[in-house]
Amino acid sequence: MLDFTAIDFETANSYRGSPCAVGLIRYRNGQPVDERRWLIRPPEQVDYFAPFNVALHGIDADTVRGAPRWQTVLPAIVDYIGDDVVVAHNAGFDIGVIRYACAVDNIEWPEMRFLCTLVMSRRAIRLPSYRLPFVCEAVGFEMGDHHDPLADARAAGRIILALAELAGTDQLAEVAAAHHMSIGRMSSGIYIGSVATSGGGTGLTFPGVNPEADPDGYLFGRVVVFTGTLMSMTRQIAWEECARVGARADKTPTKRTNVLVVGDINPAVLRPGANITGKARKAFELQDEGQHIEVMTEDDFLRCLDGGAFDKFVLPDGGVKELTIQPRERKVPLDARQPPAEPKPHKPPRPLRREWVPTDQTCSVEGCSDTAMFRTRTKPAFCNVHIGAILWQGGLIALESFTHPQDYLLTRCVQCENVAHYRFEYVQQKIGEGERTCRACYWRKWSQESMRLEGRFANLTPVTYADAQAIAEAHGFRYLGPLTNPSLPSDPHRTECVRCGKITAERLADIAFGCTCTPRE
């Protein structure tokens, strides 16, 4: 039987965990039998109303003045849902509201199963846009006031009924399976998204770009890189969606990158100096060098897939609202774009080292008359002794002779004794940033800080040696072992690239993207 509860949240501001209203509709045997609507005062730390959000749903601080706080409403929501699967249009957002609001109030995530009609609609129906009004129209349902939580919840319920009819079943699990979807699950410290499932093997492959893609599409002709966990689809499906709209996905930011999509993150942290992923940091560095890279959230990306720009929204009265964009966070080139060129044939990986070339240039250190180990016109050059001193300042000891600042040098960390390859230029960069050069030390500290911030919600399930080895080998690495005991999900591991031989210390999430020498399909 089609028994479930449809849900929709409205938020007070851009922080996902700032609920100000919720609508729930209980369905039994495919029919709505009861509904609830609560106004909510957001958690105290995020209790403010942004004008943009108020324009969307019409709820402001005066509207919720006498309403209960989130921590009071949550038990009533959980009790109303009971054992039902929760259905939502963009469940990644609505379940995210629960997760982030609980996190800011320091309370446990409730146990809940959920299914996303947005992702399922993308798998089942061909539409120009998958926003709620478009999907409702496609399934023959005229929704009420968009951004009213009860109207939106009712619409999500009608969509799942239509998709069940299309699948020819009245069992929710069979509806999900028929449209190649998974039912998500959340409990204390565990979150598994309701995402599209890929029918292929476990390896990620780059699809060919759709030759019939709309050249006026927002992502057409762009090169897109993803970082972080996407809540609405797998990474493979995201790459396929890029190809469908005429964009090309890539693994890491390069000088070809135009867009970086950051999954499951508060947009407010996308700024210099924040504790962000290496890919986001690299994108900001390329921006500083003058490259146009647009950094967007997963919600932005989904709106772009629908054919629209992420910085424009349709208001309840039919008008259009333009979102003010911080220029440092997102730089949007609006000039004409062409389809990305087909990739060139694979080249063998560049050697880690080259032959050392003698030079007659003098070391740049004041008072040193020794011959430098390399030639340069604009940057300082150093003799072998001062190269060793700089490496020591960066916490490293060289295990092989120096060849060139851009070559990879095998080193040992003076603190943890991890052996890995680093470029001399990279060591200098990290010294300038006041950051540890050794990635084993850096990622261990990063993992500990992340777990401290997550508190009791942190995932403390150890990663087995066999699982880590399988991930490394599946992505072109020889697994050299974990760097912590026990090895937790965010802890680093030591690997060696089978193509170029580079030894690195990385998290499993980064290992899954392959070595930087891996050919871009």
Q: Which pLDDT band, with edges at 50, 70 and 90, does 114 fall under?
A: very high
Looking at residue 519, what is its pLDDT? 57
The C-alpha angle 185, 188, 194, rounded to 5 degrees, equals 15
The model carries a pTM of 0.50
pLDDT at 82 exceeding the cut of 80: yes
Give CATH 3.40.50.10190 domain extents, the chain. Answer: 202-343
E strand spans, 138-215: 184-187, 190-192
What's the pLDDT band for 470 if we cut at 50, 70, 90?
Answer: confident
The residue type found at 507 is R
pLDDT at 277: 58
In terms of C-beta density within 10 A (0-12 exposed, 13-18 middle, 19 or more buried), how is residue 201 classed?
Answer: exposed
Contact by Cβ (8 Å): 324, 312: no
| pLDDT for position 31 | 93
Superfamily of domain 202-343 in CATH is BRCT domain (3.40.50.10190)
Percent of the chain predicted with pLDDT > 90: 39
Which of the four pLDDT bands, split at 50, 70 and 90, describes residue 199?
very low
The confidence band for 316, taking pLDDT boundaries of 50, 70 and 90, is very low
399 DSSP assignment: S
Q: How far is CA 44 from the centre of its chain?
A: 27
Residues of the chain with pLDDT > 70, as a percent, come to 83
Indicate the fold that domain 4-192 takes in CATH: Nucleotidyltransferase; domain 5 (3.30.420)
Rounded Cα gap, residues 510 and 168, in angstroms = 41
Higher pLDDT: 107 or 70? It is: 70
Structure-token match 């927002």, residue found:
218
List, by residue range, all CATH 3.30.420.10 domains of the chain: 4-192
- The total of other beta-carbon atoms located within 10 Å of residue 350's CB is 12
Q: Which residue has the tokens 């239509």?
A: 162
- Higher per-residue confidence, 278 vs 46: 46
Residue pair 426/436 in contact by the 8 Å Cβ criterion: no
Average pLDDT taken over every residue of the chain:
82
> What is the average per-residue pLDDT within 401-422?
94
